[in-house]
Structure 1
Amino acid sequence: MKLLITGATGYIGERLARLAFREGHTVYSASRKQTDTHYYWLPFDLKKPTLDIPDETRALVHLAADTTHNKNISSETEVQAARELIRNSALTNTKLIFISSQTASPDAPTSYGQTKWRIEQDVIATGGVVIRPGQVYGGYERGLFGVLSSLVRRFPLIPALIPTPLIQPIHVDDLAVAILTVAAREDIRGEIFCLGSVRPISFSAFLESIATNRLNVLRIAAPLPVPLITLARAMLGKRRTAQLGLDRLLSLLTLKSMSTQTSLQRLGITLRPLAYGMHRSGNGRRRHLLVEGNILLSYLLKSPPGQSLLRRYARAIEALGNGQAILDSKLLSLFPSLLALIDNPSFLCNEQGKALSWRLHLAMTLAEASPQGAVVFLGLKRSGGFLRTFIALGMSVLKEVCWRTLALLTKPLLSNMLIKRKSPRDA
C-alpha cells in the first residue's frame, strides 16, 4: 500500500512508519522536518496544512498534533488543519484514519480531549475512520509513557491515587498493527474503534509494571489523595501545571472505560500481556525465561549462573517447551534457596509440580555440562579434610530437616509461587 502519515516523527508515527516499511509498504512522511531516508518526505505544518496527496495513496493516517505544554498551536488551528486533510482525502478518494484519544469528549477537562472530539465528528461525517487508543506504552520512552517512565526512574515512590483511576493500556506496536489493518480493509469506513486492554487496570498498577518489568527497580506505592493534586494545580498555575504534566494526570480521573473487545475482534488483534510489552524489545517472554533460569540455576549451583548458561536455559525451553516461564515469584527471585520448600516428591509429583520438576531436571543437565557446574558438583578447587567434611555433612543434615519441616508448614501457600499454567509436555 501507499501510506501517508502525518506526525511520522512522533511516538506512534515513528513506530507505525517503521512497521509499514518493514512490511513492504510505501511510506510518505508528512512533517516539518525531513525524516528517515527510507520514506518519501512531504513538508507539512499544522499552521499551514496544505498537502498534496500522492496518486493511489491507500490511506492518510493523521497523527500530527500539538502536545507541547505551552500549546504553540491553538485548538482551532488543529481543527482547521484536520478539515483541510479531510477535504483533500475526499478529493483523492483516500481513506482518512484519525488517531484520536480515550480522553476525546465534548466536556473533556483538557483542550486536548475537546479538540480530538471535534475532529472526530468531521472525520466520521465524511466516512473516515477514528481510532481511540487507551494508554499507549512500550518501545522508546516517548510521549506520556516516556514521562511516566522518567518519573518512576527518578523517584522511590509511585503515587497510588485516591480515588484510583483506571486505564486500558495498548502496546505501541499493537496499535501500529491495528492501524495498518484498518488501512488495508475495504469494508471499514465511517467507524470508531476503541483499542486497549479489555479489562481496565489501575493507574498505580501500570506504574508498578513500569518499575518491575521495564526498569527492574523496586518502588513503593504511596497513597496520594486527588484533592492534593487539585490544590497543587491551583497554586502552581495553569502553565506550570501543564509543564509538570499534572493536567494530564488529572484527566485520567475523568476517563470513561471503553468497550474494546468488539473492536479488537473485528480487527483480529490480540494484545500482548502488559508485562511482556514493557520489555524494550516488546516481547518480555525471553526475559521471563531468563529470570526463571536464574532462579533454578542459582538454587542448584548455590551461586549466580553465568550469562551463557542462562541463555542456554532459555533456548532449551523455547525449543523443547512452550517458551513460557512458569515461575512467578519476586520472593524466589530474591531468595532462590526457597525452592527447597517445593523441591520434594510430594509436590513435584502432583499435577502442578510436574512442569517444575521437568525444568529442574533440564536446569540440572545444563548446569552439570558447564564449567561452573563442574566446580560445584565435582568439588573442584575445594580444600578437603576430615573435620571440614564432617561439619559439612552435619550442616547438610540439619538444613534438610529444617527445610522439610518448613515445607510442611507452608505447603498450602506454595502454589502461589507458580503461575497456574499447564506444561505442554504434560498435556
Structure 2
Amino acid sequence: MKILITGGAGFIGSHLVRLLLEQGHAVTVLDDLSTGAKAHIEGLPIGLWQADIREKAVTARIAAAHFDAVVHLAAQTMVDASLRDPHFDAEENVIGLVNVLEGARLGGTRRVIFASTAAVYGDVSARDLPVREEQALAPLSFYGMTKVAGEQYLALYKKIFGLDYVVLRFANVYGERQGDRGEGGVISIFAKRVARGSSITIFGDGGQTRDFIYAGDIASGIACALRTEHACRAYNLGTQTELSLNELVRVLGKAAGKALAPAYAAPREGDIYRSALSNAAARRNLGWTPKVTLEEGLRRTYAYVKETAAQ
C-alpha cells in the first residue's frame, strides 16, 4: 500500500515507519519536525514532507498524492499543555485533523487510522477496569476532549463521505526515541534522569496506575488496523495491566541496575488516577496482541537512553 504517516518522524511514527517498510509498503512521512526529528528516520527509503497540519495547503498536497491509507499520528499530546493553551490544542488536534481528512477524502484514500488515547475515558471507577471501548467518554482535559472530537469527526466522515476509519485508543506508550512529552513520557523523563544520576520526582503519591505499552507493539497494532475487515470502530491498544508509578520506578531501577528512591510532589491538574485498557476487542478483531514485556521494553528504552547520552 501507499501510506502517509502524519507525525512519522516522531516517537511512535518512527517505530511504525520501520515496520511498514519491512512489510513492503511505500511510506511518506508528513511532519513539521517541531517534536519529531529527521534523525529518527534518516537513511530510510521514504518520502518526507516537512509541513504543518494546521496549514490548509496540506489538504491539496495529500489529495494530489492519492494515498491508499493515512495514519494520523501528528497531534498535541500533553494534558498539561492543553490546559495551558486550549487554543493551540484545538488547532493541532481538530483543525489539523480536518485538513488531513479533507485531503484523504478528496484523494480517494480508502482508510484513515486515527491515534486516540486512554484520556478520552477520564477517571473511571475501579469496577470498570480494565476499561472497555463501550465505557462512556468523560475526558478530564482539553487534550482528551479534542481526541473525542476527532473520533466523532471520523464517524461523520464515514457516514457522509464513506471514508473508512479505525480509531486506536493508546494506553501509555513508551520506548526508544521518545521525548519528554505525552502520556508515556514519564518513562522517558525518569530514564534520562536515572542515566544522568539525577533524582526523579513522582507527582502524587505514586499509587496512581497506568497501562504502559511498548511503541513497537503500538506499531504492530496500527499495521493490523490497516488490514482488518472490522473497521469503522474504536479499539484499545494496551496491555490490560495496571502498574503503579511506584512499581514502575522499581522495575526501571532493575533495568538500570540501581536502587531508585523517588521524591514526591503535589499531583497535577487533569491527571487521572487509575488506568488500564481492555484489549479483548483488538485481540478478537484485529488479530493483535502485545508481545514486549515491561521488563524487556524498559531494558531496551534505558539502553537507548544510555547510548544516546554517550554520543
Asked whether the two chains share a fold, i.e. TM above 0.5, the reply is yes
Paired with 1:171 and 1:269, the residues of 2 have a C-alpha distance of 14
Task: Give the direction of change, closer, same or farther, for the CA distance of 1:192–1:67 in structure 2 (3 Å limit).
Answer: closer
Residue 194 of structure 1 corresponds to 236
Shift of 1:48: 0.0
Paired with 2:74 and 2:18, the residues of 1 have a C-alpha distance of 17
Paired with 1:94 and 1:216, the residues of 2 have a C-alpha distance of 48
Q: Which amino acid aligns with 1:74?
A: F
Paired with 2:51 and 2:199, the residues of 1 have a C-alpha distance of 42
2:46 pairs with 1:39 = yes
Paired with 1:190 and 1:94, the residues of 2 have a C-alpha distance of 12
For residues 70-219 of structure 1, what are the structure 2 equivalents within 5 Å? 74-78=88-92, 79-91=94-106, 92-105=108-121, 107-125=138-156, 126=158, 127-142=164-179, 143=181, 144=185, 145-153=187-195, 154-156=197-199, 159=202, 161-162=204-205, 164-185=207-228, 187-213=229-255, 215-219=256-260
2:102 pairs with 1:60 = no
Secondary structure of 1:30's partner? strand
Task: Give the direction of change, closer, same or farther, for the CA distance of 1:150–1:262 in structure 2 (3 Å limit).
Answer: same
Paired with 1:148 and 1:162, the residues of 2 have a C-alpha distance of 16
Paired with 1:280 and 1:73, the residues of 2 have a C-alpha distance of 36
Secondary structure of 1:177's partner? helix
Shift of 1:210: 2.1
Secondary structure of 1:130's partner? strand
Residue 229 of structure 1 corresponds to 266
Sequence identity percentage: 22
Normalised to the residue count of structure 1, the TM-score between the two structures is 0.54
Q: Is the 8 A contact 1:158 1:219 kept in 2?
A: no
Q: Is the 8 A contact 1:98 1:131 kept in 2?
A: yes
Task: Give the direction of change, closer, same or farther, for the CA distance of 1:205–1:6 in structure 2 (3 Å limit).
Answer: same
Task: Give the direction of change, closer, same or farther, for the CA distance of 1:148–1:113 in structure 2 (3 Å limit).
Answer: farther
2:283 pairs with 1:280 = no
Q: Is the 8 A contact 1:159 1:221 kept in 2?
A: yes
Shift of 1:15: 1.2
Q: Is the 8 A contact 1:124 1:130 kept in 2?
A: no
Provide Cα deviations, 1:285-321, integer angstroms capped at 9, x if missing partner.
Answer: xxxxxxxxxxxxxxxxxxxxxxxxxxxxxxxxxxxxx
Shift of 1:76: 2.9
2:279 pairs with 1:260 = yes
Residue 12 of structure 2 corresponds to 12
Paired with 1:220 and 1:173, the residues of 2 have a C-alpha distance of 29
Q: Is the 8 A contact 1:97 1:129 kept in 2?
A: yes
Q: Which amino acid aligns with 2:167?
A: V
Q: Is the 8 A contact 2:173 2:213 kept in 1?
A: yes
Q: Which amino acid aligns with 1:62?
A: H
Shift of 1:279: 2.1
Provide Cα deviations, 1:328-382, integer angstroms capped at 9, x if missing partner.
Answer: xxxxxxxxxxxxxxxxxxxxxxxxxxxxxxxxxxxxxxxxxxxxxxxxxxxxxxx
Q: Is the 8 A contact 1:195 1:260 kept in 2?
A: yes
RMSD of the TM alignment (CA)? 2.9
Normalised to the residue count of structure 2, the TM-score between the two structures is 0.73
Shift of 1:156: 4.5
Q: Is the 8 A contact 1:152 1:158 kept in 2?
A: no
Report the more deviating stretch, 200-209 or 190-199: 200-209
Paired with 1:193 and 1:220, the residues of 2 have a C-alpha distance of 36
Deviating runs (4+, > 3 A) in structure 1?
33-37, 67-73, 151-163
Q: Is the 8 A contact 2:69 2:226 kept in 1?
A: yes
Q: Which amino acid aligns with 2:46?
A: Y
Paired with 1:157 and 1:28, the residues of 2 have a C-alpha distance of 38
Secondary structure of 2:266's partner? helix
Secondary structure of 2:49's partner? strand
Residue 377 of structure 1 corresponds to none
For residues 305-316 of structure 1, what are the structure 2 equivalents within 5 Å? none
Structure 2 gaps, min length 5: 122-136, 159-163, 304-311
Task: Give the direction of change, closer, same or farther, for the CA distance of 1:160–1:216 in structure 2 (3 Å limit).
Answer: farther
Higher strand residue share: 2
Q: Which amino acid aligns with 2:177?
A: Y
Q: Is the 8 A contact 1:141 1:149 kept in 2?
A: no
Equivalent pairs, count:
259
Shift of 1:45: 0.7
Q: Which amino acid aligns with 1:26?
A: A
Structure 1 gaps, min length 5: 231-245, 284-427
Task: Give the direction of change, closer, same or farther, for the CA distance of 1:109–1:281 in structure 2 (3 Å limit).
Answer: closer
**Structure (1 or 2) with the larger CA radius of gyration:** 1
Provide Cα deviations, 1:91-134, integer angstroms capped at 9, x if missing partner.
Answer: 31331111111112565333222211211111133242111111
Shift of 1:55: 5.0
Paired with 1:96 and 1:81, the residues of 2 have a C-alpha distance of 14
For residues 220-369 of structure 1, what are the structure 2 equivalents within 5 Å? 220=261, 224=264, 229-230=266-267, 246=268, 251-253=271-273, 255-271=274-290, 272-280=292-300
**Higher relative CO (CA 8 A, sep ≥ 6), structure 1 or 2?**
2
Paired with 2:177 and 2:284, the residues of 1 have a C-alpha distance of 27
Secondary structure of 1:27's partner? strand
Q: Which amino acid aligns with 1:59?
A: A
